[in-house]
Structure formats: C-alpha cells, structure tokens
C-alpha cells in the first residue's frame, strides 16, 4: 500500500499561522525567510501579525499558505510519501514539497498568479459559489445552460461554480430550483478556475517559461487529469490549464484508492481537505500533521 501528502488551497489561512514554528524551528524559519527574500518584502510579518484583510489578498494569501505548509513539512522532518497532491494553489506547494520547483521560485510564481487572477476581473465583477446537495452531473448540466463553469468538484454533494456575476446569479437560482440544499457565494475576491481567468492563464504560461521545473521525486496527482504526473512539460501544461478549468478533487481522491493509497496526511493550515477526503471515501486513513 502507499501514502500521500496533500496540501490545502486558498481559504485555509489564519493570522498567526506558522508563528510558533518560526520562533522555535530553524528549518521552518528558513522557509519563511526564503519566501520573504524571494518576494523582496516581509510577507511573514503579514502572516504572523495581519491584518486579516491584507493576508487574504489573493497575491498575499497564496504564497502565505504555501510557505506555512512547506515550513510545517520541513519542521516535521518526515520521510517523503509515495505521492503528493494539492488543491488549486496547493498543487504548487505539492510540487515544491516533491522538489520539482524551488521554494523561492514557488513564492515568485504564486505572487504572479495572485496578481494575475485579481487583474483578470474587477472586484465585484465575478462570483465563486459553493453548491451543496447536488451531484456533479446535474451541476454541469445547469452550468451549461448559463455558460458558466464548474470550478471545483470537491466531494460528493459539494461543487463550486465560478464566473461573471451576471451569469452566476441566474445559475445559482437555477441550481436552487434543481434541488440544491444550499447555494452560497464564497468569500473570494476573484472568480477562480473559470474562463474569466484566461488572461491570468497567459500570464502564468509566460512566467513558467522562466521557472525551472524538475522531475518531482514522487508523482503528483494532477488537478487537471486526477492522475499522477512526473513530466516537467506535463506539469507546466497542467498549471496553466488549472487557471481556466475546474479542480477534479473528488476524482483525484477516488484515483488515490485505485493507486493503492491507504494513508493520507494533510500538511498545512486547516483541515478542509481531510473533510473532503472523508466524505469521498472510507478506504483511506486520514492524518493531520500537528507540529
């Protein structure tokens, strides 16, 4: 049987995350210092001291969650798992953990990613909303009627949709009419993983051309295909693709079972992914790294 480390995406952040590690562990401190150096500013000060509205800015929160997750991993000094995976920005963290992208390059590309995502749509122009209580096929059918996109297929009964406000609002109403238990906007400043992000995808593609990506030490389960990948060119393509297409997390978890993975550890702030995994399968033992 096999093991996997998984890394969270945006929304897991809290002010003060990783501060005790920074104070007490030299390996963790080196991660935060490297990220500060890569960005040319003290992002660590925002992570540790806030304010929350500054931390949650897309350009800050993405490298912040990555830095905290990698700091936790390095402080724990765990042996590498057989696979890694990450949800949305967590895919970058997973690649860093597996040695495919350096910590400094990961911070730089996530800062570019955050800025590009915010620039893709004016604040208030887009909506990302969670749909509870409907299967993925029903959500896809309704989205097709309104030309909107599925952003995340998270677990059975939890799907996220995203797009421009004028299209998402009628989609939300139609999903409620179709039997959704609840449809509610998420506290995100940008619409994610949808066609609105086409300009951001172009920016990421250009930025990745100057970033060295090596073959990861272990396969990463892709948000694009829900299957393992190790080829650097495939990784570049997948990172660009996920900007405008949905994260296939439910399928990724089911494929983990098919790959013989029976032990999973979530590394990073929060435990959102552990919850999604537990609602998808009972065949994987779930652990949360506590430092």
DSSP annotation of 247? B
Contact 82, 35 (CB under 8 A): no
Contact 18, 71 (CB under 8 A): yes
Q: How far apart are CA 73 and CA 78, in angstroms?
A: 7
Asked if 193 is an active-site residue, the reply is yes
Asked if 88 is an active-site residue, the reply is yes
Q: How far apart are CA 282 and CA 60, in angstroms?
A: 35
From the list 55, 73, 54, the residue with the least C-alpha distance to 12 is: 55
Other CB atoms within a 10 A radius of the CB of residue 60 amount to 20
**Peptide bond preceding 51: is omega within 30 degrees of 0, i.e. cis?**
yes
Contact 153, 159 (CB under 8 A): yes
Q: How far apart are CA 257 and CA 280, in angstroms?
A: 10
Structure tokens at 183: 């449809």
Q: Burial-class residue 281 by CB neighbours within 10 Å (0-12, 13-18, 19+).
A: middle
Catalytic residue (choose from 193, 222, 245, 252) = 193
Contacts of residue 210, defined as CB under 8 A and 6 or more positions apart, other chains included, come to none
Catalytic residue (choose from 44, 69, 88, 222) = 88
Provide the b/e sequence for 134-167 (b: ≥16 CB within 10 Å).
bebebbbebbeebebbbbbbbbebbbbbbbbeeb
Q: Burial-class residue 23 by CB neighbours within 10 Å (0-12, 13-18, 19+).
A: exposed
User: Active-site residue numbers?
Assistant: 88, 193
């Amino acid at each position: 049987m096999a093991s996997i480390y998984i890394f969270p995406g945006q929304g897991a952040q809290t002010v003060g995350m990783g501060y005790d590690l920074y104070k007490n562990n030299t390996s963790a401190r080196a991660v935060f210092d490297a990220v500060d150096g890569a960005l040319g500013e003290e992002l660590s000060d925002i992570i540790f001291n806030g304010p929350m509205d500054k931390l949650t800015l897309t350009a800050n929160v993405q490298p912040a969650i990555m830095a905290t997750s990698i700091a936790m991993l390095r402080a724990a000094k765990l042996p590498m798992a057989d696979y890694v995976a990450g949800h949305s920005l967590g895919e970058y963290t997973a690649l860093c953990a597996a040695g495919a992208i350096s910590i400094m390059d990961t911070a730089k590309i996530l800062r570019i990613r955050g800025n590009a995502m915010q620039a893709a749509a004016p604040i208030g122009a887009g909506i990302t909303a969670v749909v509870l209580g409907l299967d993925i096929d029903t959500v896809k059918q309704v989205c097709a009627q309104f030309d909107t996109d599925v952003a995340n297929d998270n677990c059975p009964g939890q799907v996220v949709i995203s797009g421009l406000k004028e299209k998402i609002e009628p989609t939300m109403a139609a999903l409620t009419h179709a039997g959704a238990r609840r449809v509610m906007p998420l506290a995100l400043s940008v619409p994610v993983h949808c066609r609105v992000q086409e300009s951001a995808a172009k920016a990421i593609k250009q930025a990745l051309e100057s970033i060295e990506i090596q073959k990861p030490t272990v396969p990463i389960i892709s948000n694009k295909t829900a299957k393992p990948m190790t080829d650097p060119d495939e990784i570049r393509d997948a990172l660009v693709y996920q900007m405008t297409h949905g994260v296939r997390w439910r399928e990724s978890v089911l494929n983990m079972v098919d790959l013989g993975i029976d032990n999973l550890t979530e590394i990073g702030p929060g435990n959102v992914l552990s919850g999604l995994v537990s609602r998808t399968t009972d065949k994987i033992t779930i652990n949360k790294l506590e430092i």
